[in-house]
Structure formats: structure tokens, C-alpha cells
């Protein structure tokens, strides 16, 4: 059976997808700060204090502060799911929570949609623009049972492929039962469609401001194609 996830927030905007690479002075910030080749989860911007919810049924295996001052919850499924032909447990991470907001404790059984805590921006945030705001870092780690595994987030359930460049995390996006693009934005944040329109306008303005005489030329057609691509990605 394939894992299906519910959205952990009712309203959100994705500020960073899984695998996003952020370069500063020619250096991959994720590589230097986390040892990952890119962003190891999905950042969902919400408002401060906005509740976040369990994405699946399972058990709470950790409620704690990480070494970077972030507060979070880790869940594990009690059943295995098919991950590319491997029967594995799923661990999900919910990070940057508000201090004192976590309403579950280690060992609690939870059901999909159950309130876990509230959003904030605790700990170290890596990323651009919206990452400074309250957001939920949502991570997914397909995991195997190993009775000899060292204690940690969910002792005995360790990442199936720890050396995949993301410490075993994989892109959660394909597992959501509702597409992420259709999410409602929190108040005050542009929707993905609005963001695309702004981008499209910038591209078109760039063309019309050009000193070149306006004629149908290849460059113009290429730019129009980019606009079409932006819109296509929303459908
Ligand atoms: Zn993140």
C-alpha cells in the first residue's frame, strides 16, 4: 500500500520545495550547514500560532528541541508502506514550532489530522525570503526496523537510505492525497497563482521596455513560451 499524507496545515504557501539548492558565494548553504545536497523537506509558510496537524495515523516518537534551537515533533507510522518496492515505516518531522505549543507527548497515538502544535520560526532557518516567517518544515523519512539502531528520533526505526544526500529524507510531495498547489494561502501571502502572474508580468515588462523595435522575433517568442510554462505548471 502506498502512503498517503494529509496536509499538515490548513492554509499555507510553499516557500521551499524538497531538494531546493541555495547558493551563497558559490557555496551550497545546505551542504555546509546540514551536510545535505539540498533542502531535506518542504517549507510551508503559515501564520505564527497557526495549528499544524498529523499528516497520517501513527505514534509520537519524539517531541523535542534540536541542537539548533528548533522545536518539533516526530511521528512514525505503525504499519509499513510500499516505497519503491520496499516495505518501510514512514517517519514525518514537523519543525520550527512555537515554544510551549506542542500538545502531544512521546508515546501518544495520533490520528491523521490531529492537532500537534502551532507554527513559529524557532531554531535555525535556512532559505530565502519567506523562510524568515513562521513556517512548518515538513520532512518524510522512509525507515526500517533495526533492533540494534542507536537511540535517537524513534530508536530502532532508522532511515532506510541514510546516505541518499538528505540523511534519508525523501520528497513528501508525491504522497499528499490533495495537490499542494491547490492549498489556500494564509492571510497576507500571495497564492502560487498570484506569484506566477507577478513573474509573468515581469517577463512581459522586460520585453516591452526593450529598446529593440517591437516585432515578432525569436526572443519574444521564447519569453512568451516561458509565460505559458508558468501557467501550465499551475494547472
Ligand atoms: Zn525547511
Find out whether 220 and 207 touch, Cβ atoms under 8 Å.
yes
CA of 23 to the centre of ligand 1 (A): 15
Are 74 and 93 in contact by the 8 Å Cβ rule? The answer is yes
Reference 180, options 5, 51, 7; nearest CA is 7
Per-residue b or e along 32-58, where b marks 16 or more CB atoms closer than 10 Å to that residue's CB: eebebebbbbbbbbbbeebbbbbbbbb
Residue identified by cell 530565502 is 128
Q: What is the pLDDT of residue 98?
A: 94
CA of 16 to the centre of ligand 1 (A): 7
Per the CB < 8 A criterion, the answer to whether 196 and 233 are in contact is yes
CA of residue 125 to ligand 1 center, whole Å: 7
Query: One digit per residue, pLDDT tens: the chain, 235 residues?
Result: 999 999 999 999 888 899 988 888 888 888 888 899 999 999 998 889 999 999 999 999 999 888 777 899 999 999 999 999 999 999 999 999 999 999 999 999 999 999 999 999 888 777 654 455 789 999 999 999 988 777 666 667 889 999 999 999 999 999 999 988 778 888 777 766 677 777 777 777 776 666 665 555 667 777 777 877 777 666 5
Strands 81-83 and 135-145: unpaired
- Burial (0-12, 13-18, 19+ Cβ within 10 Å), 141: buried
CA 96/CA 118 separation, integer angstroms: 9
Report pLDDT for 186: 81
**Dist CA 156 CA 148 (whole Å):** 7
Q: CA quadruple 109, 112, 118, 119: dihedral positive or negative?
A: positive
3-state secondary structure of 102: coil
Element (H, E) at 67: none
Ligand 1 centroid to Cα of residue 116, in Å, is 18
| Contact between residue 226 and residue 203 where contact means Cβ atoms under 8 Å apart | yes
Distance 199 CA to ligand 1 centre (A): 23
Q: pLDDT value at position 13? A: 87
pTM: 0.81
User: Residues lining ligand 1 (ion), CB within 5 A?
Assistant: 43, 137
- Which letter, b or e, does each residue of 79-97 get, where b requires 16 or more Cβ atoms within 10 Å of its Cβ? ebbebeeeebbbbbbbbbb
Give the DSSP letter of residue 112.
T
Phi-psi region of 226 (alpha: psi -120 to 50; beta: other; left: phi over 0): alpha
Amino acid at each position: 500500500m502506498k502512503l498517503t499524507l494529509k496536509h499538515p496545515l490548513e492554509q499555507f504557501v510553499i516557500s521551499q520545495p524538497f531538494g531546493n539548492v541555495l547558493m551563497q558565494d558559490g557555496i551550497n548553504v545546505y551542504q555546509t550547514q546540514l551536510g545535505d545536497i539540498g533542502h531535506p523537506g518542504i517549507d510551508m509558510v503559515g501564520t505564527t500560532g497557526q495549528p499544524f496537524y498529523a499528516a497520517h495515523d501513527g505514534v509520537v516518537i519524539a517531541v523535542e528541541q534540536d541542537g539548533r534551537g528548533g522545536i518539533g515533533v516526530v511521528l512514525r507510522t505503525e504499519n509499513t508502506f510500499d516505497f519503491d518496492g520496499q516495505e518501510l515505516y514512514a517517519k514525518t518531522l514537523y519543525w520550527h514550532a512555537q515554544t510551549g505549543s506542542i500538545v502531544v507527548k512521546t508515546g501518544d497515538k495520533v490520528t491523521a489530522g490531529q492537532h500537534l502544535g502551532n507554527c513559529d520560526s524557532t531554531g535555525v532557518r535556512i532559505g530565502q525570503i519567506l523562510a524568515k516567517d513562521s513556517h512548518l518544515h515538513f520532512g518524510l523519512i522512509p525507515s526500517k526496523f533495526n533492533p540494534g539502531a542507536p537511540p535517537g528520533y524513534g530508536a530502532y526505526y532508522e532511515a532506510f537510505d541514510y546516505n541518499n544526500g538528505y540523511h534519508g529524507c525523501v520528497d513528501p510531495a508525491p504522497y499528499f492525497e490533495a495537490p499542494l498547489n491547490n492549498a489556500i494561502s494564509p492571510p497576507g501571502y500571495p497564492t502560487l497563482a498570484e506569484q506566477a502572474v507577478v513573474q509573468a508580468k515581469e517577463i512581459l515588462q522586460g520585453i516591452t521596455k526593450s529598446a529593440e523595435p517591437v516585432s515578432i522575433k525569436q526572443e519574444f517568442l521564447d519569453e512568451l513560451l516561458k509565460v505559458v510554462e508558468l501557467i501550465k505548471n499551475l494547472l
